[in-house]
Structure 1
Amino acid sequence: MSSTPTVTHSILTLPQFSSVSPARLIVLYSDFGPQKGSNPPGFQANLVWWKSVLEAASEKAYFPSTEGAGGAIVIDVGDALVEALRQEGGGRAIGLGSVVNEMVSDQSLLPLSSFLSSTASIFSVPSIPFRIASTLIVSPLWWGLQQLNIVASDEYVQSSTASRWSKAQGKYVVKSTLEKAASNIISHFQTLPHSSITDMLFSTTSFRSTFASKALPGVSLSNNEIDVVLKFLERDRKVLLREGHVIKFDPFTTSSIPPISSVDHGVLEMSTTLLALQTQISELEMKISDQSNKLSYSLKNNQKPTALSHLRSRKTYEDLLAKRLGSMEIVQNVLIKVETAAGDIEILKAYETSTATLVTLLSSPSLQRAHIDLTMDNMADALADHAEIEAVLVSGGEAARNAADPDAALIEEAELKAELDSMVREAEKEEAEARERVALAEKERSERLEKEETEARERIEAAEKERLELEEGEEREARDRVGKLEEERVRAERKAEMEKREKEKSAEVAVIEEEDEGESEEVDLKGEKEEEKREKVLAE
């Protein structure tokens, strides 16, 4: 089935709905079928809008997917579609039956059953310009005649909405989507290898698996839609042939595709067998890997009976795998040889065609040896006659000029000599001017080089002078820094000497003061002793 959206109202998300006003949408959802007779332009405008909606929804597979209808190329016009188009609030597309019937009339929609059963190409119907002219010119004219009661009213206009809807229900092929899908499939096929006979042959199953998802962006066609595409490519585009389950696809041929032969059946059968063997081999390898994992697990868990069973199974699968690999190798080698033989046949056919063409050309009377010799002899005679005539004409012309004017030759010779002398002088003059220009250019070059050399020397001297000045300045700064450092050192030494002297003086003063204090204490002590002696004497 096609990859249809899960949201029921996905059709309503198309840009066609957001680009019209609510009032206009009400008109489009009304039963505008009777307007075909009363207002053909309005009817046509509504029809164009609905046609763009249905075709856009078809390309995106927005239609409900039902039995036999994938929702993309094949659509089912019924109650499910009406529900998918229902507007919020319950608005139903009442005029949908009129739209579908008109699209069937102009071949935009093709009934599925007649499309699959018909042997006539869909491109054999009247052209689109003819139908547009019929709609835009004939319909208004017919409406005018109806208003004058010259012709009877259109039976379609007189029919009811229910009868139009009943007539419209069914499964249809969307022509524009079908054409795009077929073109996309052909474009995708051009990107695949197609150098051998095998690349051109498909079964229905392999064609479906190869192209179902390549027909429309983001859509995978259903089986029924693939059948529709195959029918279109075979009958209408004439790029493939079908015979039973064999499909021969060759969109590159400029002539009719060769009929499907027994060789094609055999090659396709071998290709199908080869694919089946490859699938079986992949499955066997997976089973062997699974049995190996189970065997390892059983051994780790000391389940020897189970491990032995897995070992036997793995051995069986390995034996079968070896047989399938041998079979695949045999089929593959045979298929390569068949492809090589088919290619050799095509090459030999080309050789035969080119040989026959060359023989036909060489058998032409114009290329026979006698005719060639005669033609070349005649050409040589004609060229000799032409040269002789030219010589006679030249000599006769000179003789005629000399007879008419005997001095003309002398005059012409003098003029030629004068012209030659003039050309020589002009050449010498040009040579002298050239030498002067060269000398002037050399002088200018020497002056320029000398000037550049002088400027270079000046720049070098200026740079050297600047360097010397910079070095002298740096040297002076260094001397100044050294002198300042020396002065600071001398000041520091002097300061330290003065501080030392002050400390020494302070120490001497302290010693003297201590000595004076000691002498004073001794005097006081002596005075007290003498006082004690005097007191003792007086007491006695």
Structure 2
Amino acid sequence: MTSSNTGLAKYLSTHTSFQDPRSSSSPLPALYSDLSRQRKSNPAGYRASVEWWKGILLDVTFAGVQFDRDPPSSTSISASGMGEVVDRTTFRLDESTKARWTIPGVGRPLGLGTVIADLERERTVIPLSSYLKSPTPLSGPSPSSGLRSYIPTTRGVASALLLTPAKWAASSLYTLALGSKEDDAEYSEDERLFRLKRGEWVFFPLVERLSTSFLMHFYANEASLSPLSLLMTTSEFHTKLAAQCGFEPSERDALLVLKYLSRDRREGPAAVVQDGLIKFAPTEYDPVEPITSEDRDILAVHSTLLRLDTQISSLETQITTRNESIKTALRANNPSLAKTHLRSRKALEEALQKRRGVRETLSGVLANIEQAKGDVEVMRALKASEGVLRGVLGRKELQVENVESVMDGLQELVGVQDEVDGVIRDGARVHVDEEEMEEELRVLEAEKRREEGEKTERREGEEREKREREREEAKKVQESKEAEDKKQEEELKARFERLRVAQGPISTPGETASQTHAKEPSLSKEAITE
């Protein structure tokens, strides 16, 4: 296998199926074997292998890595031209394909011819020449193609699990022992298919994917902006397709997408392509109109504007270059060269002014054309609306006498309905004696007042009882407090008396009774308490 730094080798180095190909659990030996021999011996395994190859070939082709180089970046494209761009919808099958897909320890893929032949039968791939030259619409694979269309029956499952492996094992043992001319013939079947299918193949699902993506973006963002946006050249289409894809499609990719849009789209053609001019349908579901001489003239004006834009940009670049040259010549003290560059710049500025004037004139013309075509579409819509409204108002149901008759009938029916409602209300009304009802009402009111008076008396009695209880409780508390105070006072007096007796007065010679009394200790209330 080639270097793992670029292209297909780089892609395969990151694919899960290609990790550790020498392992006994690797699927590569079976996938790289001659698949034509599996078609009869192991149909389920054959279908699984073909589906695996279809998936990986689609990925490799759309990623642009089917060769030994990576897809070019926008920088390399601008530097080297469109020739470096890789096809994203076409797969090439030749001897170099087998060499690029060779895996050390596994070998070359022996079943590619069988895979391409099977994909051609289900219309997943179409020969490039047939796709480009077909005068009739081509269709891709049916929704039921693939593994889902190979759901086995009960008998098929039993055969696949029991009989087929046994036959395959017996055949393998016989081949190992004696060899088999029949096996050699089956092996040559893939080689025959490979030689027969060599060439370039268009992957229809990839063309359909690019076309559908472009149409969705175009009708969502551009088609409704102006009637002129439906017209473009093939180069403009290529630019718009590249902007939508996110990568640079090849010229062939753009051509195949245009073939699909104008011929193979399931819902009908969305575009007409003629002599490098493209015209799209107004919407995804409207039929596309043929290109007229008026369309060609409009595109001619539009293309001239694009060329003028390119020329103006080129002139501006040249003027900038001349300014730099003038500055360089002046710095080099070369006034004659600076004068030459200045004269050249003046000529460029004059040409630029003329180009800008022409562009302004053509822009005004194109704007008027755009407005006129818009007015035409508005008038068409108004005319269609007028015809529809006239047809609706001309119907017999909307004639004035019929409308008046219907309204009179409705009013009459409304009056009848009111009478019916009145009769129903009268029939449902209950007749009662007003005096008896008034008397009963007075009795009920008297009973209510009596009940309210009783409730008021009970509430007032309860409040009086509550106040009496509160006064009695307060009286008891006061009496208890007074008794406690009296008891404490008596105890204090008793203690004071005991202290006075215990500490009687002691007189000395010469002291009077009053002096003796003055020396008696003064006992405060706190001391007595202690």
Tell me whether the two structures share a fold, i.e. TM-score over 0.5: yes
Task: State the Cα RMSD in Å.
Answer: 3.8
Structure 2 residue 433 is the aligned partner of structure 1 residue 410: yes
TM-score by length of 2: 0.68
- Cα contact 1:61–1:71 (8 A) shared by 2: yes
Per-residue CA distance 1:302-360 (angstroms, 9 max, x = gap): 32322222122112111111111111011100000000001111111111111111111
Query: Structure 2 matches for 1:379-528, cutoff 5 A?
Result: 379-396=410-427, 398=429, 409-410=432-433, 414=437
- Which residue of structure 2 aligns with residue 108 of structure 1? 124
- Which residue of structure 2 aligns with residue 57 of structure 1? 60
2:381 is paired with a residue of what secondary structure?
helix
Q: 2: distance between equivalents of 1:380 and 1:170?
A: 83
Amino acid at match of 1:163: R
Structure 2 residue 298 is the aligned partner of structure 1 residue 267: yes
2:412 is paired with a residue of what secondary structure?
helix
- Which residue of structure 2 aligns with residue 175 of structure 1? 204
Q: 2: distance between equivalents of 1:182 and 1:230?
A: 8
Q: 2: distance between equivalents of 1:99 and 1:416?
A: 106
Alpha-carbon offset, residue 127 of structure 1: 2.9
Q: 2: distance between equivalents of 1:116 and 1:222?
A: 15
Alpha-carbon offset, residue 201 of structure 1: 1.7
- Cα contact 1:64–1:84 (8 A) shared by 2: yes
Per-residue CA distance 1:416-437 (angstroms, 9 max, x = gap): 9759979x989xx9xxxxxxxx
Per-residue CA distance 1:182-223 (angstroms, 9 max, x = gap): 2332344356443112222211111112213533x5x42111
Alignment counterpart, residue 338 of structure 2, candidates 279, 300, 307: 307
Structure 2 residue 361 is the aligned partner of structure 1 residue 346: no
Structure 2 residue 235 is the aligned partner of structure 1 residue 205: yes
Alpha-carbon offset, residue 17 of structure 1: 2.4
Alignment counterpart, residue 144 of structure 2, candidates 123, 129, 133: 129
1:34 is paired with a residue of what secondary structure?
helix
In structure 2, the CA distance between the partners of 1:248 and 1:296, relative to structure 1 (3 Å rule), is same
Amino acid at match of 1:284: L
Structure 2 residue 262 is the aligned partner of structure 1 residue 234: yes
Alpha-carbon offset, residue 374 of structure 1: 1.3
Per-residue CA distance 1:434-467 (angstroms, 9 max, x = gap): xxxxxxxxxxxxxxxxxxxxxxxxxxxxxxxxxx
Q: 2: distance between equivalents of 1:315 and 1:201?
A: 38
- Which stretches in structure 2 are left out of the alignment for 5+ residues? 70-82, 168-181, 453-530
2:144 is paired with a residue of what secondary structure?
helix
Structure 2 residue 31 is the aligned partner of structure 1 residue 32: no
2:422 is paired with a residue of what secondary structure?
helix
- Which residue of structure 1 aligns with residue 192 of structure 2? 163
Alpha-carbon offset, residue 249 of structure 1: 3.0
Computing the radius of gyration from Cα coordinates, the structure with the larger value is: 1
Q: 1: distance between equivalents of 2:52 and 2:141?
A: 23
In structure 2, the CA distance between the partners of 1:48 and 1:416, relative to structure 1 (3 Å rule), is farther
- Which stretches in structure 1 are left out of the alignment for 5+ residues? 148-152, 402-407, 430-540
| Percent of aligned pairs with the same amino acid | 27
- Cα contact 1:73–1:177 (8 A) shared by 2: yes
Q: 1: distance between equivalents of 2:56 and 2:42?
A: 22
Alignment counterpart, residue 392 of structure 2, candidates 361, 368, 374: 361
- Cα contact 2:48–2:147 (8 A) shared by 1: no
Aligned residue pairs total 406
- Cα contact 1:69–1:225 (8 A) shared by 2: no
Q: 1: distance between equivalents of 2:122 and 2:354?
A: 60
Per-residue CA distance 1:26-82 (angstroms, 9 max, x = gap): 121111211101211111121121111111112211112899993420111112221
2:103 is paired with a residue of what secondary structure?
coil
Query: Structure 2 matches for 1:71-82, cutoff 5 A?
Result: 71-82=87-98
Amino acid at match of 2:191: A
